Every structure is written in C-alpha cells, then in structure tokens.
Structure 1
C-alpha cells in the first residue's frame, strides 16, 4: 500500500510540488512563531523574584553636590529621616538609575580564574535596597551597616551569575576581579534572579555593589516601598515634601507597577501583531490546501470511478486520499525538520535548545493536524463520486 502511494505521488510530482512547497514554507513560518512564543512563555513562567507592587521611584536632579563626604551624608540623611517619618513609607533606598523596569542599563565584566565574563548588569545600591523589593536571599547575606565603613570591596550576585561563574559550588566567600582584574570583590551573598527587564525577557547575570557616600553626587533616584494606604493624596504630599527638601530639583514620581506594564507591552504588542499575521497565514494555508486537494480530486475523477467500479469501498477511497496527503506532508516536513534542527545544534540567537525542540514538536503536530482537517472533507467528497457517472464523463 505504502509503495503504491509513493509511486502515485512520484508520478504526479509536478502537480504535487506546489503542495510540498506550501507545506514546507508553512512549517518554517509556524516553527519560527512557535519558537518566539515558547521562548517568551518559558521566561514568563519563571518566578518574578521581586515585589514591584506598592513600590515607587522618585527621579530628581541632584540638588546638592560636594566632595566632602560628611556634608553629603548629612544632607541625604536628613532627607532619609524626614521621609521615614511619613507613616505611608515602609522602606526606602537610594539607587543607581538602572533599577528594575527603568530604561537605564549598566553593564561591565568580571574576571574569575582568568576568564572574563562580559555583559554583566551591575547595580549601585544601599543597605535597604533588598527590603524595598523583598528580594529573596539564597546564600550568604545582604549588605549591612558594617560594610559601609569597610574598605574592602564586596558584592552580592544573582543566581544566574553564580551558576555561570561557579556552577553548582557555593559562591559566598569567593573573589572575582573587575574587567581588567585590577580590583577584587568578595562575594558575600547570592540573591534569587529578578526579572528586572519585564516578565517576558530572560534574566541577565547581575551583581550588586554598595554605594559610597560620594555616589550621591551622581545618583538621582530614590526607591520607596509604600503601604496600601498610599493614595493620590499622599503622592501629592510626598511631592511637596521632596520639593521642600530638594530645592530647585526636578522631581518625577513613577509607580513600578505601571513601569512593569509598559515594559511588558514592549514585548506583548509585537507578539500580538505576529499572532494576527500568523492567524491570517493559517487561514490562507488552510484555504490553499483545501483548494489544492479539491483540484486534485476533480482531476482524478476517472481514477476514483475506476477503483470503485472494481470493488474499492468508499472508506478505502477516502483513506487513500487522506493517507496520500499525510505522506506528502511527511516528505515536506522531513526537509523542514532538517533545517529547523540546525537552530538548537548551532545555538542560534543564544536561545536554549529546549525552546527550539518544543517549538519543533508543536509546529509538526500543528501542520499534521491542519493537513488532516483540510483533507477530510475532500476525501469524503471523493468517496461520494458515483463510478458510473465518473466513467461516463471520461
């Protein structure tokens, strides 16, 4: 039976070429779309790692600059104490501009065992930064007041960086050099990964470094964890309080929950556009397959009539046409899978191989289902042909 089907397909190879090409192109497009959706879904399914609700950011133009550490410390400590006196503020921390969901990025390299690991996000933070975001500590500890006066450089790294540099071994207590390996940092803690660039983006390796006092000369962001009773009236009050403390400073208050939605929309909007295009593609492919199969049946009426005249049942006729379609689909998919499998093998776009393998499986199942559905009705119509009428037309 199978040998006979292959012979029929080969004898009509010119007519079947269009069908095979359509299946191949459709598979490659579906595979690409599935890869994108699977990639974003796997990123989305991971734990967020930070508490963004009821967290506000305050951007300000530096109101006071000085090379005197005592003067800087006194000025910003006064701001800290007056803000902490407000009952709606639970935690606060000054921070570099590249806090979660912001549009700012800072990256550098770290050296370990002579190997330079580049493109690592680094954050300049204070002791209470982890409390603002309720970050989860996996190993060691976070910064405390004793680290402020300690001249030794220390850092806290995230789980991704720990895995990248140290594998499954413990990172706390080890040292890593800067990009040029001129300065050494002692690792005192490991925190859970935080999806600082939105829910759909991958977690990047990162480390946190304690701000020194002189950093207030360039730091222009304050992060606040507020209580559930912090409303628009309190936001107005906070703005006035900050304006009185930071005279002649431009102030802007943002809610991290809104910033997160904005970040996610940067991914969701293109995804929705691609999904819409994919929907039209699937409809066009289905109509095209249906039309090709219908045309093939109309061209083979005499063959179908002859087979039925010599005893072939209606179910056998329908099964033959559906099976032919599935076999041709398999031939096209073999070529498509050959090209698709190159993506995980060559680590294209530095995306995990699992993403491509899941997308490949989904795309194959989807194409088979689509072809099978499109072939059912033409197969039934072929089985309904009356042999006497078909042979008479011939």
Structure 2
C-alpha cells in the first residue's frame, strides 16, 4: 500500500483527472442506485393484504326495458336480493369467503375518507365500509384485538379481526394515528378499547376501537403512509346499504380455494343467469384481482419502465466509460508490466497490483463523492416522497455504487493486463 500511494503521488497529474472522473461518475451512479433501491424496497414491501385467488363480482340492477324486469321492487328489496346472492356464493363449492363492501376493495379506482377524533384531535383515514368477512377474505394482517370483555390479544389474525368487527366497533390500521404528534400516540394500538367520535368531536356518533391491523397499501408503488394505507374499517349493515340505492355502487368480493381457482370466472358467469340472478339484481361481470391490479398499476408500471430505460442507458455509458478508461490505462502501461516481470514480479502479483491501484483510486474518489451525495440527500434532491432519506438508505446506495464501480474497474483491468503479461519482457522492452 505504501508503494501504491507513492506511485499515485508521483503520477498525480494523470491520477488527478482520473480521480475527478471517478468522483463525477460515482455521484451519478449513486443517484441511479438510490432510486433503484427505493423503488425496489417500496415494490417488495408487504402490502397488508393478499388478493391471490380473489375475484370481484360486478353487480347491477335490471331496468324496466328488460323482459326479465320485476316491477314493484324497492331499494330494500334490491339489497335483500344482493345479500341473497352473497349467501348463495358462500355455499358454492370452493368458495372460502364472501364480503360486500363499498368503494374500498384493493386496487379499486375510488376511495372514501373519514375523520375520527381522539379527544379533539382529528385522525384522517380511508373509510373501509365492509362486512366482517372482508378481513378474512383479503387476509388482512392483524396487530391486536380487544373483545367486549376488555381482554386484549396481540399478534391477531384476520379471523380475529373479522370476529370483533361489528355494530358499534371499528378496526384501525396501525398508522392511522401517525399524524397525531400532540397525542404522543403514533401507534394506534394504544387506542384499543377507546371510543372515537366520527366526523365531529364530542358527538354520540362514536365507535369503539376493537382491533388494530397493518396498513393496506394502495398499490406496489406507494408506501403504507401514503393515501390508502391508514384506514378505518366499520361494519356495513343492510340499513346502510340501502342508503346507496343501487347495488351497482357496491362491490361483491369472493375468495376461492387454490384448487377451485381454475376457470372459476368462466364457470360462474355461465351459471350466473340461472343461479345468481335474484329479483332485479344480477351479476354483470367477474374480474380477478390480478386484472384489477394490472389496470390500477399500468400507468405506474409504464412510468417506471421509462425511467429504467433512461437510467439503464446512463448506466451503460458509465460502464463503457469506466471500463474503457481503465482498459486504455492498463494497455498503455504494457512496458511497465514487462519491466516488472523482468525484475522478478509474478503475473499474479502484477495483476493484483493493477487492480489494487484502481480500487485505491476509486476509494479516494469515493470520499468526496460521498460528501456530495450526502448533501444531495439532505437537500432532498432525491426521492423522499416514498421513503425518508436516512443513514441506512445512504450507506446501502453508497456500498452498492462502490461495488458496481469496483466491478467495472476489475473488468477494465483484467483483459488488457492478462494480454500484457503474455508478452515476453524482452519483446516489450525492445518495442519501447
């Protein structure tokens, strides 16, 4: 190492510009790696639910223009018919769970907000108006539940969340109270058993917090703290369904067993007119949640693909530039390699020396580059909307950037160094 430092100092003019190039390239590469790491961490983070083997049934109501229309049916009758369809689906072979909800299914295109109050401090969340089986159907991950007897159970399952969700109770997501800094309760688990007023503080319209669940992310490109993550789930009784007047405004979700998930949608639609049309209510279409996910995330997927193409092009240029620079540098030192071999150096020793020299230059350039990258992060010139800029994020991107550039340097040194070492020392010195 001492000899390497001495040689680098003696050749400081050429090494200075090479180190400057490595510094600039390192900062650009760090930015690319940081964005890729953030996107990957957000994409692969837990969703808080599971939609595998789940289907959404679109229902509608016949109009008087239909030959099958039954006159005299009221809105209440239509909701009873919808509940009857749901009950028939529960008895269908292969069906695990059925739930009716309003504008709150995963990968849906709409949402409802609600405002609850802890004392007088508001808590904003997404309203999930649904039947209790919704928790079991989408495998909502529970944190804790508290029964009517006041007994609290932690590490709750989706079944226990479904058991406590009913008239007079609610289920909060763990981060629903994250913005209530004045309360000192960033975790909603501490609100178990308390009654929270809805829409206005100190009103009789209140519900008891009977369960706490993990947040449900909106899609794979948003975090649990963004809109859609914090939620407040309440029961969806028949009298509330009637207020929506049309079954088309409600969603009927179904989970089937893995064995039954083979042509389920086609088979159900073939039997829909015979088995699942009650009164004026009928099943219009069946969509898997994989289809809904594709529709919901299509724009984000296309945007990420575009950004990855741009970043991939920049990464290719960085790779060719760094490899080419060290390739030319090693090829240019062909006579030095021959002289070292003539003085008794081994091929392995020369190769390791050339690689170590490149890595030492990279490390020296990485120190000021890290300071530049740190200032970029502190100034929030990177993506901080999805993940905060913290020490683990900074160090991870820094380490990956160093490893990538080290790999490029090794590739740039390896082939020309091996070729130079295959030349006889006398021939190389004669050329000089």
TM surpasses 0.5: yes
Name the structure where helix makes up a greater proportion of residues. Answer: 1
Deviation digits for residues 68-103 of structure 1, max 9, x if unmatched? xxx644441243125424542665433212311212
Distance 1:75 1:31, change over 3 A: closer
Distance 1:134 1:384, change over 3 A: closer
Q: Which residue of 2 aligns with 1:129?
A: 134
Alignment partner of 2:107: what SS?
Answer: coil
Q: Which residue of 2 aligns with 1:158?
A: 173
Deviation digits for residues 4-48 of structure 1, max 9, x if unmatched? 14314522123554344334423432332233223323x1xx365
Distance 1:290 1:239, change over 3 A: same
Q: Which residue of 2 aligns with 1:256?
A: 289
Deviation digits for residues 102-154 of structure 1, max 9, x if unmatched? 12133345443655444x22212234433443545531365789954x6xxx4
Alignment partner of 2:176: what SS?
Answer: helix
Distance 1:240 1:11, change over 3 A: same
Q: Distance in 1 between matches of 2:255 and 2:35?
A: 43
Distance 1:91 1:30, change over 3 A: closer
Q: Distance in 1 between matches of 2:35 and 2:310?
A: 13
Q: Distance in 1 between matches of 2:352 and 2:255?
A: 67
Give the CA deviation at 1:190.
2.2
Q: Distance in 1 between matches of 2:62 and 2:362?
A: 65
C-alpha RMSD over aligned residues: 4.1
Q: Which residue of 2 aligns with 1:14?
A: 17
Tell me the TM-score normalised to structure 2 length: 0.70
Distance 1:9 1:295, change over 3 A: same
Alignment partner of 1:170: what SS?
Answer: helix
Give the CA deviation at 1:326.
0.6
Q: Which residue of 2 aligns with 1:67?
A: none
Q: Which residue of 1 aligns with 2:243?
A: 215
Q: Which residue of 1 aligns with 2:105?
A: 99
Q: Which residue of 2 aligns with 1:351?
A: 387
Alignment partner of 1:216: what SS?
Answer: coil
1:327 matched to 2:360? The reply is: yes
Alignment partner of 2:191: what SS?
Answer: coil
Contact 2:100 / 2:252 at 8 angstroms: preserved in 1? yes
Query: How many pairs are equivalent?
Result: 379
Q: Using the TM superposition, name which of 23-32 and 317-326 deviates more.
A: 23-32
Contact 1:60 / 1:252 at 8 angstroms: preserved in 2? no
Distance 1:206 1:146, change over 3 A: closer
Q: Which residue of 1 aligns with 2:271?
A: 237
1:377 matched to 2:405? The reply is: no
Q: Distance in 1 between matches of 2:293 and 2:219?
A: 6
Match of 2:194 among 166, 174, 178: 174
1:56 matched to 2:56? The reply is: yes
Distance 1:349 1:79, change over 3 A: closer
Distance 1:233 1:317, change over 3 A: closer
Contact 1:197 / 1:263 at 8 angstroms: preserved in 2? no
Q: Distance in 2 between matches of 1:185 and 1:72?
A: 27
Contact 1:50 / 1:194 at 8 angstroms: preserved in 2? no
Could you tell me which runs of 5 or more consecutive residues in structure 1 were left unpaired when the two chains were aligned: 65-70
Tell me the TM-score normalised to structure 1 length: 0.76
Distance 1:214 1:234, change over 3 A: closer
Q: Which residue of 1 aligns with 2:325?
A: 292
Deviation digits for residues 174-206 of structure 1, max 9, x if unmatched? 244556646564333225336453456433111
